A and B are shown apart, each in its own frame.
Chain A
Amino acid sequence: MVIKQNRKSSQQIKEEILSQLELQPLSVEQLRKNIKDSNWSTVNKYLEELKEDARVREIVSTDKIKIYQKIMGDTYFDLPITENQRKKFHSLFAMIFAEYKKRNKMPTKTSVAKCAVHVIDNEKAELKDLPIVWYLYGMVPLMAVETTTEYSEGFILEKRKEIQKIIIEFVDENGEKRSSQIQKEQHKRYNEETYVLSDEIFEILNKPEFDNKEILSLLSKFFIACPVDQEFLEIFDLTNSVIAIIQKMDLMNLSLQQYRKEILLAFDSLWKFIALYKLYKSRTEGIKPMKKEIILNFYLGGAIGERKRGIGESLSELNSIYFNKLADFDVDKIELSEDVKEIRKIMENWTGED
């Protein structure tokens, strides 16, 4: 007897395509191989339909290969999460909003994000499968919080009671605090030195008045704390470029406060670059890491390039200030301590050759 198999509906195939693309971008051919009972033209046809519905985007299109990426729309840089993770995030966010609502408060995005991280990072919540990442303002859930979205608890989290307790604990402790304070406290709690220092640097640069010494001491600490990664030596090189110009302006006896705007712009563009690197590291290390080449080729590569260009532009602003002042500055008047002279002496035959 021949058992007649039910053919998959177009909806089922589309769901399978989307599910496959949750992991990483794939070519039509790769999708065809991964989806049972499908052929190239079927997969291609449904991908075109999904593209029209803005569910996927074509990120590589040549005569030989077409690669598609699922549009997440709710994660940083569209980094992939599974549907299951999305549902869990929604439930968690809904619970947090509800707790604030009980207290007649409307939380900020930061408060919700930090509370979510607090929950996810607590083993009792058993939500370790939800990705959290370091980015611009510290550690946040990979799914971005929106205060305008109505999150619902469609998916009941397994450890709901425990989670509720952790949320209450967080809101009790932080409910009255400003977002920036919660953020800074998180940076300190996780002992993330570059984040702690960047908070302090931004704070000084946003003050109406500051001394050169205040900012220089922090920049020096930032130089010391700057991460060194063999694959990303540019992080250090660019950090040095930004800090060195500011230090040189000080050596020329310029009041840094006068150039607050330009310095702020330069540090801000540097920080955006470093934060992106931190995001990259968060997703390529730890639980279920993504492959480095996939994250760079399909998700962050473009943004990394753009942010590097941003640093270049803001540096040229600072450069032009200090070049203009250089004409009147006697470089031979910089006093060097005996220790600096000694270092020079040791380095005399150093040529920088590889």
Chain B
Amino acid sequence: MGKDNFLDTNIIFHYSNYTDTASKIIEKCYFFVKNKSGRFILCWAVLKELEEITKKRARFHKAIIEKIKDTTYSIEDSPLISFRDIPFAKQIYEKYKNKSKEEIEKLFQIERNSSELKIKKFIQFSIDERGISLNQIDGELINKIHNIIPNHADCKILASALQLQKDRELFLFVTADGKDLDPNGYEFLKGQFEINYSKENWKFPELLNLVYTN
């Protein structure tokens, strides 16, 4: 049995989206989950984020359907999607604009529901421990992490991991985030905590970033 694994949201989301044509990172996440070699730990901030992502994906699909229903509909101004979603939405719309709204919705519903089923099943049957509820997350700790990592949702998850790590053997913080949680960034974060909060004795889990593994 390997070390315990504290899972980031992206591991589960990527796992749920695996297909035989998926990219390397999605494949890695899928097989990491399938070939489980240690206990899986999930915090409530991850559960919450998964819920949010699935909600946003349905909104994203609906925005494209609105555009297919009415070509004058503006994806850019849609209340259903955020700025970052626009290029993805445009690409899908361009590819499928000649399909009927019923056909495209059929594809979308299978896309999101098959992924959601995988997530639900994973959460229900593969998680060994759910730690740190949302109201247990240390707000000050979030702020300290937020000084270095800009994404607030990531900060909550990392804060949960640090709180959970305090009194136990070193576990792995498993992520597929190549941006905010790359090995250098993680080392920098640890260094900042050693400099600024050494008295608080925060213990960092060992980073396992699947983006940077073979």
User: SS class of chain B's interface: helix, strand, loop or mixed?
Assistant: helix
A343 touches B69 (CB 8 A): no
Q: In the complex, which residues of chain B have a beta carbon less than 8 angstroms from the beta carbon of A252? A: 117
Q: In the complex, which residues of chain A have a beta carbon less than 8 angstroms from the beta carbon of B21? A: 341, 344-345
A236 touches B80 (CB 8 A): yes
Beyond contacts A244-B112, A323-B124, A343-B111: 17 other A-B pairs, Cβ-Cβ < 8 A, are A221-B102, A224-B102, A230-B79, A251-B113, A252-B117, A331-B114, A334-B114, A341-B21, A343-B108, A344-B22, A347-B17, A348-B23, A349-B88, A351-B53, A352-B57, A353-B153, A354-B82
Q: In the complex, which residues of chain A have a beta carbon less than 8 angstroms from the beta carbon of B65? A: 223-224
Which residues of chain A from 306 to 354 have any CB-CB distance to chain B below 8 Å in the complex?
323, 326-327, 329, 331, 334, 336-337, 339-354
**Which one of B84, B116, B117 lies within 8 Å of A353 (CB-CB)?**
B84
Q: Chain A CB within 10 Å — which of B78, B109, B120, B124 has the most?
A: B109
Please report the C-alpha to C-alpha distance between residue A223 and residue B20 in the assembled complex, in whole angstroms. 29
How far is the CB of A234 from the nearest CB of chain B, in Å? Answer: 10
Q: In the complex, which residues of chain A have a beta carbon less than 8 angstroms from the beta carbon of B53? A: 351-352
A342 touches B95 (CB 8 A): yes
Please report the C-alpha to C-alpha distance between residue A337 and residue B99 in the assembled complex, in whole angstroms. 15
How far is the CB of A175 from the nearest CB of chain B, in Å? Answer: 38
A residues engaging B (CB < 8 A)? 220-221, 223-224, 226, 228-230, 233, 236-237, 240, 244, 247-248, 251-252, 323, 326-327, 329, 331, 334, 336-337, 339-354
B residues engaging A (CB < 8 A)? 10, 13, 17, 19-23, 26, 52-53, 55-60, 62, 65-66, 69, 78-80, 82-85, 88, 91-92, 95-96, 101-102, 105-114, 116-118, 120-121, 124-125, 151, 153
Please report the C-alpha to C-alpha distance between residue A251 and residue B117 in the assembled complex, in whole angstroms. 9
Contacts A233-B79, A343-B107, A348-B23: A220 and B114 contacting too (C-beta < 8 A)? no
A327 touches B59 (CB 8 A): no
Contacts A252-B117, A326-B124, A331-B117: A353 and B151 contacting too (C-beta < 8 A)? yes
18 A-B pairs in the complex with CB atoms less than 8 angstroms apart: A220-B106, A233-B80, A236-B62, A237-B58, A240-B59, A247-B113, A323-B120, A327-B124, A331-B117, A334-B114, A337-B110, A343-B108, A345-B23, A348-B23, A349-B88, A350-B88, A353-B84, A353-B153
Please report the C-alpha to C-alpha distance between residue A341 and residue B102 in the assembled complex, in whole angstroms. 18
Contacts A252-B117, A326-B120, A334-B114: A224 and B80 contacting too (C-beta < 8 A)? no
A237 touches B55 (CB 8 A): yes
A240 touches B121 (CB 8 A): no
A233 touches B117 (CB 8 A): no
B80 touches A251 (CB 8 A): no
What residue of chain B has the Cβ atom nearest to residue A343's Cβ?
B111
Q: In the complex, which residues of chain A have a beta carbon less than 8 angstroms from the beta carbon of B62? A: 223, 226, 228, 236, 240
Q: In the complex, which residues of chain A have a beta carbon less than 8 angstroms from the beta carbon of B117? A: 248, 251-252, 326, 329, 331, 334
A341 touches B56 (CB 8 A): no
**Which one of B80, B101, B111, B153 lies within 8 Å of A228 (CB-CB)?**
B80
A244 touches B125 (CB 8 A): no
Contacts A331-B114, A343-B107: A220 and B102 contacting too (C-beta < 8 A)? yes
B19 touches A336 (CB 8 A): yes
**Which one of B92, B106, B151 lies within 8 Å of A346 (CB-CB)?**
B92
Please report the C-alpha to C-alpha distance between residue A346 and residue B113 in the assembled complex, in whole angstroms. 17
A346 touches B91 (CB 8 A): yes
Please report the C-alpha to C-alpha distance between residue A312 and residue B111 in the assembled complex, in whole angstroms. 24
Please report the C-alpha to C-alpha distance between residue A165 and residue B82 in the assembled complex, in whole angstroms. 54
What residue of chain A has the Cβ atom nearest to residue B21's Cβ?
A341
Please report the C-alpha to C-alpha distance between residue A147 and residue B88 in the assembled complex, in whole angstroms. 56
Q: In the complex, which residues of chain B have a beta carbon less than 8 angstroms from the beta carbon of A228? A: 62, 66, 78-80
Contacts A341-B19, A341-B21, A354-B82: A329 and B95 contacting too (C-beta < 8 A)? no
Please report the C-alpha to C-alpha distance between residue A327 and residue B91 in the assembled complex, in whole angstroms. 36
Please report the C-alpha to C-alpha distance between residue A339 and residue B98 in the assembled complex, in whole angstroms. 13
Q: In the complex, which residues of chain A have a beta carbon less than 8 angstroms from the beta carbon of B20? A: 341
B105 touches A220 (CB 8 A): yes
B116 touches A337 (CB 8 A): no
Q: In the complex, which residues of chain A have a beta carbon less than 8 angstroms from the beta carbon of B106? A: 220
Please report the C-alpha to C-alpha distance between residue A331 and residue B124 in the assembled complex, in whole angstroms. 13
